[in-house]
Chain A
Amino acid sequence: AQKVTQAQTEISVVEKEDVTLDCVYETRDTTYYLFWYKQPPSGELVFLIRRNSFDEQNEISGRYSWNFQKSTSSFNFTITASQVVDSAVYFCALSEAGRNKLVFGAGTILRVKS
């Protein structure tokens, strides 16, 4: 069965600090996709990244970076030099190839204080 665990319920940091959001997943499939979404206070879900199970290269996009490690079934998300606008709920999600649903983790609330 698919499962996504985000053990950190809430994280508070001060602006300019780096922060890492953890995501651990479970799946029996060898082909799957991992996602991160951001939900700002306004409520919409914003797509951040998709990674397939065959691509373990880390990715960097501006202040955001993602570390995918199949050996530990983890797909962690790091924000460098955090800003107040990064305050949001961040969701990690998983889908298996051929199955038509995203399984979301419980989300991590990130609060960035100025």
Chain B
Amino acid sequence: DSGVTQTPKHLITATGQRVTLRCSPRSGDLSVYWYQQSLDQGLQFLIQYYNGEERAKGNILERFSAQQFPDLHSELNLSSLELGDSALYFCASSVEGGAGTGELFFGEGSRLTVL
């Protein structure tokens, strides 16, 4: 158990809909990262928050947004969903602000299926 909690574990929805994925980091970790794992793109970094502020951005679509709340939990919002958004979405956390200085602890992922 990494200590990172993601909900929901599974989600099935239709094209055009909007969903919210939630992540609670390990106790004491200030950084939250979101990754997308799909068959064609592999594991892709989406975005990072550090203590409530956006710290780094990766290949995140404009239809997607994220935020980190004062209690440090984070939400990833996916809107106008398309079939290609079906993927496993991972949240990870770390103490430091930079991934290079410490390991990332990954949650179990939220599997999104868009029909």
Q: Which residues of A contact B (CB under 8 A)?
A: 31-33, 35, 37, 42-47, 50, 91, 95-107
Residues A107 and B42 in contact in the complex (CB < 8 Å), given A44-B2, A45-B106, A101-B58: yes
Q: Is the CB of A100 within 8 A of B105?
A: no
Q: Is the CB of B43 within 8 A of A100?
A: no
For A33, list chain B residues within 8 Å (CB). Answer: 99-101
The 3 closest A-B pairs by CB, nearest first: A45-B106, A100-B56, A101-B45
Task: Report the separation of the CA atoms of residues A37 and B101 in the bound assembly, to the nearest whole angstrom.
Answer: 16
For B2, list chain A residues within 8 Å (CB). Answer: 44
Task: Report the separation of the CA atoms of residues A98 and B48 in the bound assembly, to the nearest whole angstrom.
Answer: 13
Q: Is the CB of B45 within 8 A of A102?
A: yes
Q: How many A-B residue pairs have CB under 8 A?
A: 70
Q: Is the CB of A101 within 8 A of B108?
A: no
Q: Which residues of B contact A (CB under 8 A)?
A: 2, 31, 33, 35, 42-43, 45, 48, 50, 55-56, 58, 88, 90, 92, 97-109, 111
Task: Report the separation of the CA atoms of residues A47 and B99 in the bound assembly, to the nearest whole angstrom.
Answer: 13
Task: Report the separation of the CA atoms of residues A104 and B33 in the bound assembly, to the nearest whole angstrom.
Answer: 14
For A45, list chain B residues within 8 Å (CB). Answer: 90, 92, 106, 109
Q: From the candidates A42, A100, A107, name the one contacting B98 in the complex (CB within 8 A).
A: A100
Q: Is the CB of A43 within 8 A of B98?
A: no
Q: Is the CB of A101 within 8 A of B105?
A: no
Q: Is the CB of A44 within 8 A of B55?
A: no
Q: Is the CB of B104 within 8 A of A47?
A: yes
Nearest Cβ on chain B to A47's Cβ, whole angstroms = 5
Nearest Cβ on chain B to A90's Cβ, whole angstroms = 12
